[in-house]
Amino acid sequence: MNNDNRIMVGFFEVEGHGPDSVEVPCTGIPATDYANLTGAMRERHPGVPKDKIVRTGSSVELRNPEEDPGIIDLDSGITLRQLFDSTEKFPAGRSSLRIGRAFFSGAPYTVFLTYNRGAGRIGVQLQPRTKTETVVNFSNQINPGLPVVDLPKLIQDVLGSDGRSLELTTRKGVAA
């Protein structure tokens, strides 16, 4: 495993802000990595006293610089169903798609869309970014015929008031 592919992610509770996270390159030296995480969070929230920024967890995530980050073009004019269609990379189509990350009830999660082809429905699943949480499946079902431009609002509606700091891998203004 190459150190260039490892990222240390720190999760914090920041007074007056709530849950937040930062990422730093992983050195492989825990004390250095934790100090770097704390320093990065203090830079992000310079007006918050040091004792009011509490690390609640951390993890090492592997990042492949050659991997397609799966950015979704909101202005593409496609439907949600088409996000799961067969491509050169996924010839049989796919049944799940990583679309971002969020805090849910104060815990950090990766956000996935799941497509049940038989039922013709799309769901939202949260997979924990730390070992202290469990997978969260929502009973809300999303119509796959809805336009992809509605994705941010749809996800926020599913997460409700417990969802915070939603960051989706989407972009606007790139349609041809």
Domain ranges across the chain: 3-62, 72-171
Please, which contacts does 33-41 make with residues 24 or more away whose CB atoms are closer than 8 Å? Answer: 33/8, 33/58, 34/10, 34/58, 36/8, 37/8, 37/10, 38/10, 40/10, 41/10, 41/12, 41/14
Given a cut of 50, whether residue 1 has pLDDT beyond it is no
Confidence of residue 175 (pLDDT cuts 50, 70, 90): very low
**Residue in 29, 57, 28 with CA at minimum distance from that of residue 41:** 57
pLDDT, tens only, 84-140: 886 666 667 788 889 999 999 989 999 999 998 888 899 999 999 888 788 999 999
Residue 111, beta-bridge partner list: 100, 126
